[in-house]
Amino acid sequence: MDTHLFFFILLVLPVAYSDDHDLSLECNQTFNCGTIQGIGYPFWSPTLRPSYCGYHGFELICQQNQSPVITINTQRFHVLNISRPPLMTIAPVDTWEDPCPQQFHNISLNHNLFDFAATIRNLTIFYGCPLEDDIPSQHRFNCGTTTSNGNTYAYYLDESLSRIHRSDLTDCDISIIVPVNQSEFDELWNETDNIVGAWNKGFEVTYQKDMISCLACRSSGGVCGSNSSSLDFLCFCPDHPCSKSCVVSVETRINPFESSTPIVFSLIVRRMTFLFLELLHRVYQSTIA
């Protein structure tokens, strides 16, 4: 009986340990996506990194020698830089290299995951406007195609100029609000850059999803990830996934592919480990007797 139990434990325990250990090793690897290298949690990519190594909402589409693309609130953005977590620079795909998009909409973020950085300045872009001599010419560009009202001019103004020229802009067809970094805003106002250059440089956003939990996880020797079903944060430890950090606690042992795992299973594993150690002790005693 002891011999059968011995071989059963030798077969089962390494498999359970190996699965958890493989998750830890797999998610500990960073990945390269287009022009950006060394990307880690919370980002993932369908072809390069499993979703449980990242978090829902941070999927990157990768293409060789091009910026990764992320979708936020149905809008697509080029990811230009992930400088230091939790900060990245993005630029709208719709206005990439072209300030005259086919469809007009404001830039919006999923504020459960992202927020505008403190360095952001908002520009209001007025499209389909007639030529207005009272508005400084450096804030004007021509889209070359007419909007519904037949006008082709567009103007980019900050909040102050928008108030000053409110009466001059009543004949414009549509307006949208676009964020730019403070540095690009200054270059526009100093006439050292144009609207295309400012938009192509993007703007900074912060991402805060479970970053504090991730720091705690890493400090305890774990690797950050998420539950594929519940989308909750998980800390992949060398021997088992935990909810926050790598601590020895039956209650924190979780299956990363299910919403919950009965504590009974963890108790069984602990009991099997105890029996295995007890058996080894008996074998050792018999060899020295």
Query: Which of 177, 207, 237 is where one domain is finished?
Result: 207
Cβ distance 237 to 222 under 8 Å? yes
Residue 24: what pLDDT? 81
171 occurs within a structural domain: yes
Distance CA 160, CA 40 (A): 41
Do 160 and 123 fall into the same domain?
yes
Q: How many domains does the chain have?
A: 2
Angle at 179 between CA 89 and CA 106, to 5 degrees: 115
Do 186 and 214 fall into the same domain?
no
257 occurs within a structural domain: yes
68 occurs within a structural domain: no
pTM of the model: 0.75
Residue 16: what pLDDT? 38
pLDDT exceeding 70 applies to what percent of the chain? 76
41 occurs within a structural domain: no
36 occurs within a structural domain: no
Residue 190 has pLDDT above 50, yes or no: yes
Residue 103: what pLDDT? 83
Residues near 275 by Cβ (< 8 Å), separated by ≥ 6?
5, 9
48 occurs within a structural domain: no
CA proximity to 140, closest of 160, 128, 57, 148: 128
Residue 9 has pLDDT above 80, yes or no: no
Do 16 and 104 fall into the same domain?
no
Do 227 and 192 fall into the same domain?
no
52 occurs within a structural domain: no
Do 218 and 273 fall into the same domain?
yes
155 occurs within a structural domain: yes
pLDDT tens track for 204-235: 999 977 888 999 999 999 999 999 888 899 99
Task: Pick the more confident residue, 193 or 61.
Answer: 61
CA proximity to 235, closest of 88, 249, 13: 249
pLDDT tens track for 230-276: 889 999 998 889 988 997 544 444 454 444 344 334 434 444 544 44
Do 188 and 267 fall into the same domain?
no
Task: Pick the more confident residue, 111 or 273.
Answer: 111
The arithmetic mean of pLDDT across residues 91-103, rounded, is 86
Mean of the per-residue pLDDT values for the chain? 80
Do 142 and 192 fall into the same domain?
yes
Distance CA 26, CA 40 (A): 11
Do 119 and 190 fall into the same domain?
yes
Do 151 and 215 fall into the same domain?
no
DSSP-based three-state secondary structure for 264: helix
Do 226 and 196 fall into the same domain?
no
Residue 71: what pLDDT? 97
Domain that holds residue 157: 95-207
Do 101 and 202 fall into the same domain?
yes
pLDDT tens track for 76-90: 999 999 987 789 999
Query: Which of 159, 186, 207 is where one domain is finished?
Result: 207
Residue 35 has pLDDT above 80, yes or no: yes
Do 104 and 165 fall into the same domain?
yes
pLDDT grade for 65, boundaries at 50, 70 and 90: confident
